[in-house]
Structure 1
Amino acid sequence: MKKMNYNMYFKSKSRLFLLCGFILLWCTRCKREDMLLYTDGTAAAPAKVSGIKVANQPGGAFITYQLPDDPNLLYVKAVYKLGSGEEMTIKSSYFSDTLKVEGYGDTSAHEVKLYSVGKNNKESESQAVSIKPLTPPVMKTFESVSLAETFGGAVVKFSNLAKANLSFIVMSDSTGRGDWYTVNTFYTKADSGRLTVRGFKPEERRFAVYVRDRWENKSDTLAKALVPLEEFLLDKGKFKEVRLPTDNWQGHSWSGVSTRTMPFLWNNVWNNGSDVFHTVPNSGLPSWFTFDLGNKYVLSRFKFYHRAGNNNDLYNNADVKLFEIWGSNNPNSDGTWASWDSVGTFTSIKPSGLPLGQVSNEDIQFARVDGEDFDMPAGINAYRYLRFRIREVWGLAQMFYISELTFWGAPEKDN
């Protein structure tokens, strides 16, 4: 009995010593952290950086330097003003020897002031550094901009090799006397593209475009008098589903909704997550479907509306990315391709350029509400039947979904 009491006594003592050890270790760690965070309010400001070098970049510069051997140093900062008058402050911790300054809209010389900042928030005297930015993306991109007439309006083509976040503001003169208004503002970081404004009569009208970046730097303005090409909105009431062998026309159903078949593509409803043509999961890719326009048309362009609903479905999963359009006036009933002409290959563009699974408000507006515009190749023949061949979707799904398709063009002229 006494032996058992001794064991219990020593076990209790061991636990007590172990607990004290943990407390002592915790206190020691706290004390070390306190020492690291401790600042001397009476200490002088840290020494200046030295060995400053400038590497000019488009719209800014990289500034490198040697850090002072000063235990009080917390970070180095750069202070400068943009052309708009806005003051910018950029900071870099004592783990780095480089600062990146950006936001300039020209190639003039600019002054940047460097400061060393201590843990007590005291700043060293400023050091003036002169930089001379290279041509900024907003100006470089504008050099590539072209403006031309297209069906129902104007088209802007551009090259943005820096993939900078830019806005393209397209305007029109409403009276012909310089009463300009903004028709649309496009946001993109794509390396190239075509931007179109539509809805104009085939009458001469002045259009203009300029480029703006996120620091409100603006390019010059390109203006032209253009005559939009005449076109007509095709009557969707004449569209009909065609079921050919090898086609994927079987629709999918979920959560009690009716089967989402092809006619949902032309019911004039979009920006609705359930109102889509949705093929059966795991039905495979590439995949194609066929429909009848009701008459023969020379097509000028079309709008492609992406599926709404969950943001994870946009530019992801089964959302169509790469597809072909084929045309015919007398398709073979066996579903083979010999009676079909290739009209064109089209790639969906994500304006923001964000990674898979991420979308911006501009992406949502562009894809679901406004619809993604595609121009047909010039000089194509008139066709009554169209065949869409889906080659690739944005995600990994083996199916596809499309909310709506809208077409413009002109009826075939009688010879």
Structure 2
Amino acid sequence: MDDLIAARSQMAMSLGFHIIFACVGMVMPFFMAIAHFIYLRTRNAIYLGLTKAWSKGVAILFATGAVSGTMLSFELGLLWPTFMEHAGPIFGMPFSLEGTAFFIEAIALGFFLYGWGRLRPWFHWFTGLVVGLSGLASGILVVAANAWMNSPAGFDYVDGQYLNVDPIAAMFNDAWFSQALHMTLAAFVATGFAVAGIHALMILKRKNVTFHTTAFRISALCACIAALLQPISGDISAKDVAERQPAKLAAMEAHFETEARAPFIIGGIPDEQEGRVKHALKIPGVLSFLAHGDVNQPVTGLNDIPRENWPPVAITHYAFQVMVGLGMLMALLSLIYLFALARRRAWLDRRWLLRLFVIATPMGYIAVEAGWIVTEVGRQPWIIYGIMRTADAVTPMPGIVYSFFLFTAVFVSLAAIVVFLLYRQMAMVGRLYDVTDPAYRGNSKSS
């Protein structure tokens, strides 16, 4: 493994772990705030217990997300010093603002966790809401920095020099809105289906059914609404990528020949040597419509792009297929659930519906990981699109492969600790918040 592959593998592994923690940090505080709000309005002890249970999970994942995010910031300087030397002064603003949002989130979380019985009820609820808003802001700001790498702006590149830097223009680049919208909805979909699936499993096991049913309905409703909005953001993203990064779009669809009425490809095995896709289902005109809003508009193929500027086609194509396929399955499940809420409420207690949510538990996070593969691998060979190649940004320091193994061990250990803590927390939920138990403690020290 050479240093470039080791450095890219280390960043891929680190981002693969951190993006899960980031999604949870963006979404779970809102679930917590919804449950707390309903409790304050109804004084139903189930919602109080649910708020406290979810707040403990938020605390665990906030701590692990802080660790993984800090490690990522060190990795940027360790692995990509040339990139940080030139890019840091340009797109540093969203990172600095993200740090501010992180500190606000930490302070608000401290107020919320230790505010039971000490703060006024509605101010206490507001501190929980601030945790969610600041976590959401952190995620959007980091995505804005990544969007700048896909759509560099806010500077003039003249004779290898980065001149006339405008940090505001860099942060609000052409890609930030579409990426931020897509990532935010993806976080709600992934976390919502994961939480709903876990609670659905507890219902199927007949463990504390009332508590888990309440939790399931909050998380499932949020997940389903986001899943039905996600295709809209996907369409916005596709049109944006078609305009700015035609090579990425071509790799996503394994589209080799420039043509009007370009087909949308489902499945298939790309053959880069022959310039075609084998065993694929092609729907004529759909790719042209998705990319340009016109079925007769040509879509640029890979064969009209210099070979040295091609992304890895197979990886990008397979990841895109996984993302879209799982997104459609979750959207279909969302339609079934919302139809049940509106017209067939008897379905809500059926085991087949709960089993579908259990099956969907990992789908959102798999789709998120696949989407980031599309974003990052599809940008290659550029680290700053059209400006700086990834190979030119890697550190000259030898032995990066050892750093890769070390960081992998740290992240795997961190993930194991998180799984253990969350498993223990789920076991404690059944004991502490069992509303059928006369000793139920959910009402203790209420706000």
Per the TM superposition, whether the score is higher than 0.5 is no
**Larger fraction in helix:** 2
The structure with the greater share of residues assigned to strand is 1
Task: Report the TM range for the smaller structure's normalisation.
Answer: under 0.3
**Larger relative CO (CA 8 A, sep 6+): 1 or 2?**
2
TM-score by length of structure 2 reads 0.22
